[in-house]
Each structure stands twice: as C-alpha cells, then as structure tokens.
Structure 1
C-alpha cells in the first residue's frame, strides 16, 4: 500500500536496521525491521539495502532521509564527527553531515557524542534515543552489547559510561572455560543470585576477573548451586555493572531504561533487587529523536 510522509527515519546499527516513515506530527505511518545491520552489508552497498527497505515502506514521493547509529561510523556509510559533552539536541542537528545521492537526494547523518573526561568514551545511536525522551534530567540506561549509562542535566548529555557487558558475556560462554556452563532455560532465581553476588563483590573491591573464576569454583565445589548456570553468569556481570554505575552517578530518581525485551526487564529486575528504582522508557525513542532533530534542522515543513 502506498504511503505518504514527511521524513524517513533510519536507525541502523551493527546487527539491526529499522526504518520509519513519519508524518508531519512524528506519527509512524509505516516501519520495517531487518537483520541487515552494517556488518551484514557486503561491499558497503548501503544505498541498495536502504532502497529495499524504503520500497517496503511504500513511499510515494521523495522525502528527507535521516540516519542514526553505527551507519555513521568508520565501518558504516558516512563517518560523522563526534559532538563533545555537554551535548544537546541542537548540537546534533547543527553537525549532521549530508550525502547527496541520485536515487534519494540528500541523506542526513546524525553525529555521535564523545567525552574526554572524567574518562574517554564515545557513542553512536544512543544519543538519538536519549534526545527522543520527554526527559531533561536524570540517568538513562541503554542495555545491550555495550551498555550505556547516560547522565542528563537540563536537556544536555553531561556524561556517560559504557560497559562491554553483553560482549563479555558472549565471549565468556563461547571462548573460555565458562562455556561449560549448561545452556538451560532462563532461571530468574539464578539470575538474581548472580546480581547479588556481582554487586557485593564489586562493593568489596573484588576484581571481576576473580569473580568470574570463582563462579566456576563455587559450581564445581558444590558451594552454590545457582553458580552453575548461564543465568547466574549474566546476573554476575550485570550486578557488577550496576554497582559500578551507581557508584559513579548515585541516581536520586528512577533510572530510565531504554531498549528491547527481554533485556530491559532483566536489567529492571536486577535494579529492583539492589534497591534501585527504575522506569521503562516509551517504545521507539529513536524515531522520536530523529524527528525532533529534523524539526530543529528545518527538514519538516
């Protein structure tokens, strides 16, 4: 079915590609989701892949296309510069880069965000999700392969911290002695036991490297039944992450969790177990953020 719209919002990450056709009020008229993330696109044929997705949207007229995520990285289509912290939505709009194409006309690429202090860090894509929230202050958590904890003050991204929690979990169960942990059904009890252990050992100053091997020792010696599961290992890593992040930011209000199920639920359960209040963000914050950036840029007439 043919669709009309004002802009096409593209959330293009490492493993997933999502496109949205938005009208002049930001309402989603059509959307697509595929597994054609940037690492799945051969020979950097990004324009061809985008054409397939746009065709599925059923667009009847050319309209501005705005891209966010790892598509703006060195491995992507157009590498954009990073905006320094503190960063606000107007900075993202002002520093977008444009690629002229014969097929689509100009395509806009949203920059990432960087910080140099207190520690160096970078993000691409998460900044668009954060500015898509109806929130000016507080702490946001974006779980994933590389979890981000983002501190908002007066509508600006003041700072953030990245944790390679998902990446580390994947590597541990694929390439280390912990791959021997059985791949059983998810256990909420084991997960929460891991949350408590990871948080407590972080509080005690125990190295995560030591905590990981203790997981194996506790299981083999029969000291902790739950330690012999991947659910426990996941909890251990997330508990350590939460412990470190809360020691940095000391959230005084509920943490806003942005992401997809089931990961958001796991993190919120972990936070609750440790007495940290949280709330789930409204769905589809990425296209809302892209829409707001497009408005500021004057791309929606």
Structure 2
C-alpha cells in the first residue's frame, strides 16, 4: 500500500462540497468538507473555492483533480453534458470534460440522462456513485440513492438501463419550513429512524400514496386537535414523503435493493425499507463515490494517453 498522494477526488453537489486526497490504491490520505455547494460559490467562483481547499490540505501543485456533481451543470463551473441511458457507467471517465485554463489538470464527469418526452430525467454525481457501487457491490439490479433529489436506478451489470428522481428531500424542507406545517413541525429538525410516527408514515405513504396530500394536512389537524408534538409531526412528515417515494418507485416487499447512502439518510431509508419488507444491501455513499472517481480518472487517463498519474 502506498501513502503518496496521487489524485484529488471531489464530489461537488448543490449544497455540499467533499474533497479527498487519495493515494494510487485509493487510500484516503486527507479530506475536507464544507457547505460550499454550487448554490454558495457563485460570488467567489469555483476555481477560487477549490484552490482554498487544496491549499488548506497542502496538496502538491501537480496532482490532477477529478470532479463529479453539480460543478458540471449548466449553472456550474464547466458544463459536462450528459450520456444517454442505457449507459455503461464504467465508461463515464472517457467522456469527462477538461476544465480549460487551469494550472493543474481538472476534469469533470458527465451526468446521465433519460431522454423521454413524457418523463425526462437527469442525474449528476450519482452516476459516479453507481460506478463505485457496481465495483464494490457487484450483482445489484436496483439501487436507492437518497438525497435532496432521491434516485432509483435499474442496472444490468455495469449498464444503467433507467432511473427516476424523486424530490423527497426538497419537499420535506419546503413543507416543514415554508408551509402551514411549519407551525406543527418547528422547521426541519432531525428525525429518529426508530420513531413509530416515522415508520407509520412510511407505511401509509407507501400503501396509500393517493391520500398523501390529505395525510399532510392531517399533521396540522393532529397538532391542533390532539397536541401532537413537533418531533412526532416531523417524523410522520418524513415518513409519508419517503413512503410516497417508495410507491412511485414501485417498491415491492419481496425484493432486494442496494442502498447507497450515509449518515442520517442511510438510517432513515434502511429503517423505511425494512419496514416495507425489503432486503437491504448497504454501501456507504462516500466509499462508492471515491471508488467511482478513482476509476473514472483511470479510464480518462488511459483514454487520453496520460499515464503520469493513476
């Protein structure tokens, strides 16, 4: 195992920034995280923010950087485009976009797209996690990737055959922070994955998604009539939205799903899936995206003829 730095891997999302300094074999030598997502860096600029993080970790000036996520969006640093599904995720590195006019080599991984007039869809960042998930946990056919915009992905080997996005996280934030439910939930707050109100909400949303908007208002009514506390109301709200997501994703109680997640979302979605009878295979999202970024750089380097780095 080598401990010499070989690559900077970055997952640059809408609301968060994650950077890892990796050795040639993928060992994490250092990392840096912040809330400087795409929506926060417009004034300072992507290159300035990245330089600050690299300087904080004293990263050698000749190391390349591979980035996935919203830095490659139309409103990001450099638009990296989309690869249409069905798409082999092992090839995404070969289609990376090189950021021009930078002192070090920086590439951005493209996203994936479902080009359907009736139900178009796109992803950025998750394609790199899927590559890592495929390599770390081969044989998966269906993956759940929770987040602000949760993804449900179908795969055949390394090929993404289709996916659907659900705005569950954003809806929870909007409903708990900017609607009448704010008075019942006291804003966003944390949700306990073992809270009975959460698990009941999951089952209600999954089994009866057509009543979701009624169930949402019932949260307010329950507080007014029965003094249901804010933590219980937040838990039920979260459960209802996740359950409705499961219904939209056509979750069956007898299937196996790869859950690519970490932290609080991992705990919530695992508890919710288990409550619906699903067999869960867990893979940490950080592990998946790091593996995907390393593999993408290696494919890019091989394709471009750059063999000076991993």
TM over 0.5: yes
Using the TM superposition, give the Cα deviation of residue 286 of structure 1 relative to its aligned residue in structure 2, in angstroms. 1.0
Matches within 5 A, 1:121-136: 121-133=121-133, 134=136, 135-136=138-139
Aligned equivalents of 1:236 and 1:251: distance in 2? 17
Where in structure 1 are there 5+ consecutive unaligned residues? none
SS in 2 for 1:257: strand
Return closer, same or farther for 1:193/1:223 CA change in 2, 3 Å cut-off: farther
Q: Does 1:107 find its partner at 2:110?
A: no
Using the TM superposition, give the Cα deviation of residue 72 of structure 1 relative to its aligned residue in structure 2, in angstroms. 0.4
Using the TM superposition, give the Cα deviation of residue 146 of structure 1 relative to its aligned residue in structure 2, in angstroms. 0.6
Using the TM superposition, give the Cα deviation of residue 252 of structure 1 relative to its aligned residue in structure 2, in angstroms. 6.0
- Partner of 1:194 in structure 2? 201
- Partner of 1:97 in structure 2? 97
Using the TM superposition, give the Cα deviation of residue 110 of structure 1 relative to its aligned residue in structure 2, in angstroms. 0.4
The answer to whether the 8 A contact 2:257-2:279 is kept is yes
- Partner of 1:56 in structure 2? 56
- Partner of 2:150 in structure 1? 147
- Partner of 1:37 in structure 2? 37
- Partner of 2:272 in structure 1? 270
Q: Quick check: 89-98 or 151-160, which moved more?
A: 89-98
The answer to whether the 8 A contact 1:215-1:227 is kept is no
Determine which of 235, 248, 252 is the counterpart of 2:239. Answer: 235
SS in 2 for 1:177: coil
Aligned equivalents of 2:13 and 2:190: distance in 1? 28
Using the TM superposition, give the Cα deviation of residue 47 of structure 1 relative to its aligned residue in structure 2, in angstroms. 0.8
Q: Quick check: 139-148 or 222-231, which moved more?
A: 222-231
Using the TM superposition, give the Cα deviation of residue 168 of structure 1 relative to its aligned residue in structure 2, in angstroms. 0.7
For each residue in 1:64-99, what CA deviation from the matched residue of structure 2 results, as whole angstroms up to 9, or x when unmatched?
Answer: 111100000012100111100011134312211112
Aligned equivalents of 2:231 and 2:78: distance in 1? 45
- Partner of 2:115 in structure 1? 116
Using the TM superposition, give the Cα deviation of residue 21 of structure 1 relative to its aligned residue in structure 2, in angstroms. 1.4
For each residue in 1:74-130, what CA deviation from the matched residue of structure 2 results, as whole angstroms up to 9, or x when unmatched?
Answer: 1210011110001113431221111233432x2111000001247211000011011
Aligned equivalents of 1:223 and 1:173: distance in 2? 17
- Partner of 1:24 in structure 2? 24
Determine which of 165, 176, 181 is the counterpart of 1:178. Answer: 181
Matches within 5 A, 1:10-21: 10-21=10-21
Determine which of 295, 299, 309 is the counterpart of 1:296. Answer: 299
Q: Does 1:216 find its partner at 2:220?
A: yes
Aligned equivalents of 1:114 and 1:291: distance in 2? 22
For each residue in 1:120-156, what CA deviation from the matched residue of structure 2 results, as whole angstroms up to 9, or x when unmatched?
Answer: 1100001101101222432111111111111111211
Aligned equivalents of 1:185 and 1:11: distance in 2? 24
Return closer, same or farther for 1:224/1:239 CA change in 2, 3 Å cut-off: farther
- Partner of 2:160 in structure 1? 157
Aligned equivalents of 2:13 and 2:20: distance in 1? 14
Cα RMSD after superposing both structures: 2.4
Where in structure 2 are there 5+ consecutive unaligned residues? none
- Partner of 1:256 in structure 2? 258
- Partner of 1:284 in structure 2? 287
Return closer, same or farther for 1:91/1:207 CA change in 2, 3 Å cut-off: farther
- Partner of 2:141 in structure 1? 138
- Partner of 1:168 in structure 2? 171
Between Structure 1 and Structure 2, how many residues are aligned?
293
Using the TM superposition, give the Cα deviation of residue 194 of structure 1 relative to its aligned residue in structure 2, in angstroms. 0.9
Q: Quick check: 153-162 or 34-43, which moved more?
A: 34-43
TM-score by length of 1: 0.89
